Amino acid sequence: MKFTYSIFLFLFVLISCTKENTPPTPPQPIETPTGEMILDLDPKWGAGDLILGQTYTNASNESITPTVFRYYVSNVALTTTTGEIWNQTESYYLVDHANGKQALVITGVPEGAYRSISFSIGVDSLRNVSGAQEGALDPIKGMFWSWNTGYIFSKFEGTSPQSTEANQRFSYHVGGFKSPNNALRRVTLSFPHEEHGGVEVNRMATPEVHIHADASGLFNRSHAISVASDHICHMPGALAMKIADNYQGIFTIDHVH
């Protein structure tokens, strides 16, 4: 015991000494010039536009009238053409397609050429367990479960004659940050090939990345889901995991300009 203590003491003295020997003023970090990137998220149903309140047909040949389509985009990261990764801090956006497209402005992007973008759909586990959050994560946004606390990562609601619920309602609320039902999904999209030099971000150039979010994929991208068999998802679990798998694959870059 005493011996261990002396070792610690010795180490501590050593560390203290080293500290004293280092130059008192560390080199100033160099301010990297930054720019912005705009993500234009465009809701689609197959090849056409998704307009909430209109009726579509899913892969199970069910008639679907979506009324709500919202989701969190978080922890945006960009990879340069040389493979370096920039992670945005405090990176939480709530996308609400109530009025169609939504543009997210990614600020503080270091100037450079980028080949791909990654983001999560949902909210990382840390923010699910850290108390009252602000901004996009404010519980007032209606994307928060109160009795089994945690964020609702996405909502897709509407009506369908195939639903046995009151008013033929269906409602898919996906969330869950704990294993084995962690519904957080990462999306990585490469910028189009023609951009051989990558997408340039600098003070003069703010690229707009047009991303399609094809809601029809919620029903069949990786797993077949039908309203007839599943019309309500209001807690973490197997169904939420399937829907999350499905929407992980619905995002594509249409073009960049």
Nearer to another protein, 92 or 114 (CB): 92
For the bound state, the minimum distance from the C-beta of residue 82 to another protein, rounded and expressed in Å, comes to: 39
Nearer to another protein, 106 or 152 (CB): 152
Map residues 217-246 to x or -, x wherever contact with another protein holds by CB under 8 A.
Answer: ------------------xxx---------
Length of the chain, in residues: 257
**Cα-based distances in Å from 123 to 8, 160, 172, 250:** 41, 29, 17, 18
Taking the C-alpha atoms of residue 68 and residue 248, their distance in angstroms, rounded to an integer, is: 18
**Interface with another protein (CB under 8 A), residue from 1, 17, 47, 132:** 132
For the bound state, the minimum distance from the C-beta of residue 135 to another protein, rounded and expressed in Å, comes to: 9
Map residues 89-128 to x or -, x wherever contact with another protein holds by CB under 8 A.
Answer: ---------------------------------------x
**Interface with another protein (CB under 8 A), residue from 16, 54, 87, 148:** 148
**Interface with another protein (CB under 8 A), residue from 130, 188, 190, 229:** 130
> Where would I find the beta strands (DSSP E) of the chain?
34-45, 48-49, 56-57, 63-80, 85-87, 92-96, 102-110, 112-121, 144-145, 150-159, 169-175, 185-190, 199-201, 208-214, 232-233, 251-256
User: Identity (one letter) of the amino acid at 248?
Assistant: Q
**Interface with another protein (CB under 8 A), residue from 134, 193, 196, 204:** 134
SS (HEC) of 77-94: EEEECCCCEEECCCCEEE
For the bound state, the minimum distance from the C-beta of residue 129 to another protein, rounded and expressed in Å, comes to: 5
Nearer to another protein, 74 or 79 (CB): 74
**Interface with another protein (CB under 8 A), residue from 55, 133, 206, 226:** 133
Structure tokens at 133: 């959050």
For the bound state, the minimum distance from the C-beta of residue 134 to another protein, rounded and expressed in Å, comes to: 5
Site size for another protein (CB under 8 A): 21
SS (HEC) of 24-87: CCCCCCCCCCEEEEEEEEEEEECCEECCCCCCEECCCCCEEEEEEEEEEEEEEEEEECCCCEEE
Nearer to another protein, 125 or 206 (CB): 125
Q: What are phi and psi of 153, to 5 degrees?
A: -70, -35
Window 158-187: residues binding another protein (CB under 8 A): 181
In this structure, are residues 46 and 214 in contact, taking their beta carbons and an 8 Å threshold? yes
Where along the sequence are the contacts to another protein (CB under 8 A)? 128-134, 138-140, 142, 144, 146-150, 181, 235-237
